[in-house]
Chain A
Amino acid sequence: MEALVFVRQEGGKIVLEAKVVRLHQTASNGKAASMTIEALRNLRPDELQPEPLVRIRGVVTSARDPFSITVHDGDYGISCWFDKPVVTPAIGNFVEVEGHVRAGAFGPNLGNCRVSNLGRAPLPTPLTPTWEQLINGSLDHQWVEVQGVVQHVNLRTLAVGVVGGRLEAELTQGEPLELAALQDAIVRIRGTLVPIYNEQKQVEGVNLRVNSPLDVEMMTPPISDPFAVPQKTIEELSRFDPSGVNPFHRVRVQGQVIYADAAEFHLVAGDKGLRCFLKSATKLTPGDWVDVVGYPKLGRPVPQLDEAVTRVIRRGDLPEAIAVTPEQFFSGKFESRRVALDAVLSSIAQGQREKTLELQFGGRFLTARVHGGTQLPFDVPVGSRVHLTGTCAGRGLAGDNSYELLVNRVTDVVVLALAPWWTVKRILILAGILAAVLLGAFAWIFLLHRKVEQRTAALNHEMRQRKEAELQRASELERSRIARDLHDDLGASLTEMSLLAGLGQNQTDAGAARERFDEIGGKARSLVNSLDVIVWAADPEEDDIETFADYVSGFARVFLESSGIVCRFKIPIEFPSVKMDGRVRHDLFLAMKETLNNIARHSGAAEVEFALNLAGERLEINITDNGSGFDAATIARGNGLTNLQQRLTGIGGMCVIESSPGHGTKVHITLDLNATK
């Protein structure tokens, strides 16, 4: 036998306390290596392939079901699994276990075990780990003892609040009824620690397998009246308190609830705030004055009460909210205080329990949780300016400068100004539309402009062509007129002259020949006269009425003089500048020549009065002779008179002849110069 003992002095005697007793008995299977659990725990993964068969010895600390037990060799514990259900050895049995070492889901264990009882042994001395040691995973299947307050009792399990956290103690054997009395008691529990791990093999919590109600030792019984504990102010919570040595001492605080939901509430007393986490769901109305009892917890700017139970003292109105700036809000100085602030809404999220408003508050983001806001309509466009009243609450761990606003109800959110319609997106859309419209308008104007230009150019071209055609036509007309005049006036005379010359050549008589030469000379002179008129009429420099008057009077004088007729003129010396074109001048001249010719030939007059006057644009010519005259009714109109009429009609003029036998003749010619243009 082998025994592990502790040496202790007791009343002057030295006492050996046996902790582990080993019976030296060879195993039935000599192949299995004898190992300590510590060595087994330290096997490397490569040493576990294939799974080595080992032999351990220890005391059974847990036997939860017919498939597994926990064996502890004084230093460490390990779970041992059976392939078939077995009658598990009793707690406290000293056993030898043969099995294969497996890596296990979390820690190593022994599989396919065979167990043989070697006797009885005392249970190992339990470890008393801290919360951090409890959850760091190293104490897998270790035999521990923890101290805590029973928060809940649920048939076979106890929820135990320990310093730093909370664990579940599961009663694996024994009568659970005894546990009910432990509610709110401070207890000391021994058991096998089993970590609760997730798929990533991270420890999320710990279970304590308790073998018997005897392993739960009540240290402080539950108090019948939870409010029968010393009352403190919130301020006093953070101060020196000798009773704080006991981590499970409770305090009572009085204050007014400013925010409450199912899990927590905040209360204020004076200018101090307190955050409380409820032991169980309690209906609290903001504004209520309450007594709160709970376990104080410090670390954040405001103290905290855990496992809080409340008692309403009286109803009241909520205190006035403090208007805070962003700097004040995020400084933490107003944590758990009722504050009011103006912020800009940036988004709304519907959480499971409440609406979450994301806000822009002084350049930082702020989350506001609206309690019970789910059933209330809350439809405010993003970008609106809102006024919120609520409780400033810290988030996360101590030292985390993160704060949120807890709002009691949706009416504590007041819209100050709806979001301006000109959001960036809308402005961009509007600018886009405007740009498109402008572009369209410009394009349209451009097209229109081009069209107008093209049309103008086309019109100009057309007009120029028409003008050219007109000019062409006018010049053609003028040319054909001159050609006709040349032909009519000169052609006949020249023909006659050549005829006369021919006759003269055959003339033997000198006198007769001389007569022919005279005739030719006369014809030639009259021919030059005709040419003179044609040239004068065609000369564009001679196109005003003054020149016309000079020319016509000169012609009349010479013409009548050669017939021995005196000519008197009644012609203004100066005329206004009025143009007469070549055709009018020529035809008018010929009409007058015709008249003068008639006078010279037929009238027998001694004197002619030639009057020319311009009234406005109306030209009046009166040629009066003192000759024999004629009876217009009886004398058939000669060729000359008809020609006269025709010439004048051709240029838009008219002619009236007054005459009676013995009283001379008056030829009255009128012509509207304006109409001849």
Chain B
Amino acid sequence: MTSVAIVEDSTSMRKSLVELVNSARGYRCVCDCANAREALIEVPKHHPDVVLMDIHMPGESGIVCTARLTAQMPQLQVIILTVYNDTRMIFEALKAGACGYVLKRSKPEEILEAIAQVRSGGAPMTGEIARMVVRSFKARQPSSSEKESLSGREMEILVLLTEGLSNKEIASRLEIGTGTVRSHISHIFEKLHVRCRSEAVARYFQNRPG
């Protein structure tokens, strides 16, 4: 059983999502919050496995909320919900600690699949996200510790991802297992989180209006 928390300001959307999660076998919605403030209180109480997090909310944004929750609960897996396919915003959320994203307009089964994917070891990294990750790591100081910089294999995988290759294709190209590829991608995300989390939080606090 996978416990899910939902953070979404739109009441109808939130109810639909709760219904969708509860109606699926093996998923249970443990709490639903209307904003970031509520989420920061409720989510730690219920210890969900996965959080579906809306980006645009009144008050603190989903990105800041993600950063705070993952800082508090490192095992928490956050999936970002977004109306638009706003690549930059999604990337910011990933940097803040989210490990996947799903468009709100997606079919219900796609949303559930995204949760399943995250649960089974991490979301697939798309080409455009991979490109942003590469840029992000390139822009950073190369002298940083090994923990924070990408290995050669990780970079190799990222470049293949930008070219549109699937995990399976990468595995066969590099003659490694698919699980290994997935584990590499997980590491890449972790490194991205480590590098970017605090910075992302700071930036979002700074840019918050008012």
- B164 adjacent to A568 (CB under 8 Å): yes
- B131 adjacent to A571 (CB under 8 Å): yes
- Tell me if A's interface is mostly helix, strand, loop or mixed: helix
Q: Is B107 part of the binding interface, using a Cβ–Cβ cutoff of 8 Å? A: yes
B127-143 residues at the A interface, CB under 8 angstroms: 127-128, 131-132, 134-135, 138
Which of A567, A568, A573 has its CB near the most chain B CB atoms (within 10 A)? A573
Which of B84-92, B174-182, B189-197 sits within the interface? B84-92
- B85 adjacent to A557 (CB under 8 Å): no
Give the complex CA separation of A568 and B83 in angstroms. Answer: 26
Give the complex CA separation of A553 and B87 in angstroms. Answer: 11
Q: Is B162 part of the binding interface, using a Cβ–Cβ cutoff of 8 Å? A: yes
Nearest CB of B to A610, in Å: 8
Q: Is B126 part of the binding interface, using a Cβ–Cβ cutoff of 8 Å? A: yes
- A567 adjacent to B164 (CB under 8 Å): yes
Q: Which of B126, B162, B165 contacts A573 (CB 8 A)?
A: B162
- A525 adjacent to B163 (CB under 8 Å): no
Which of A132-140, A382-390, A527-535 sits within the interface? A527-535
One digit per residue, 1 when the CB lies within 8 angstroms of any chain B CB and 0 when it does not, for chain A 515-552 equals 00000010011001101100110000110000101110
Q: Is B105 part of the binding interface, using a Cβ–Cβ cutoff of 8 Å? A: yes
Give the complex CA separation of A542 and B105 in angstroms. Answer: 21
Which of B83, B127, B163 has its CB near the most chain A CB atoms (within 10 A)? B127
- Sorting the interface of chain A by its residue count into under 10, 10 to 19, 20 to 34 or 35 or more gives 20 to 34
- B88 adjacent to A569 (CB under 8 Å): no
- A557 adjacent to B164 (CB under 8 Å): yes
Give the complex CA separation of A574 and B133 in angstroms. Answer: 11
Give the complex CA separation of A555 and B126 in angstroms. Answer: 11
B103 — which chain A residues lie within 8 A by C-beta?
528
Give the complex CA separation of A535 and B56 in angstroms. Answer: 15
- B107 adjacent to A521 (CB under 8 Å): yes
B106 — which chain A residues lie within 8 A by C-beta?
525
Contact of A554 with B163 at beta-carbon distance under 8 Å, contacts A524-B105, A569-B127, A573-B134 already known: no
Which of A524, A535, A547, A554 has its CB near the most chain B CB atoms (within 10 A)? A554
- B138 adjacent to A532 (CB under 8 Å): no
Q: Which of B83, B132, B134, B162 contacts A528 (CB 8 A)?
A: B83
B84 — which chain A residues lie within 8 A by C-beta?
531-532, 535-536
Give the complex CA separation of A345 and B87 in angstroms. Answer: 104
CB nearest to B131 among chain A residues: A573
Which of B83, B107, B131, B132 has its CB near the most chain A CB atoms (within 10 A)? B131
- A553 adjacent to B128 (CB under 8 Å): yes
CB nearest to A529 among chain B residues: B105
Contact of A569 with B162 at beta-carbon distance under 8 Å, contacts A521-B107, A554-B128 already known: yes
Q: Is A513 part of the binding interface, using a Cβ–Cβ cutoff of 8 Å? A: no
Nearest CB of A to B56, in Å: 12
CB nearest to B105 among chain A residues: A528
One digit per residue, 1 when the CB lies within 8 angstroms of any chain A CB and 0 when it does not, for chain B 123-161 equals 000111001101100100000000000000000000000
28 A/B residue pairs, CB under 8 Å, sorted by A: A521-B107, A528-B83, A528-B103, A528-B105, A529-B105, A531-B84, A532-B85, A536-B84, A536-B86, A541-B88, A550-B132, A551-B128, A553-B127, A554-B85, A554-B87, A554-B127, A554-B128, A557-B126, A557-B128, A566-B164, A567-B164, A569-B127, A569-B162, A570-B163, A571-B131, A571-B162, A573-B162, A574-B135
- Apart from the given pairs A525-B105, A532-B84, A547-B87, 8 other A-B contacts in the complex at a CB distance below 8 Å: A525-B106, A532-B83, A553-B131, A553-B164, A558-B85, A570-B163, A574-B135, A574-B138
- 7 nearest A-B pairs in the assembled complex, by CB-CB distance: A554-B128, A528-B105, A550-B128, A568-B164, A569-B164, A550-B87, A532-B84
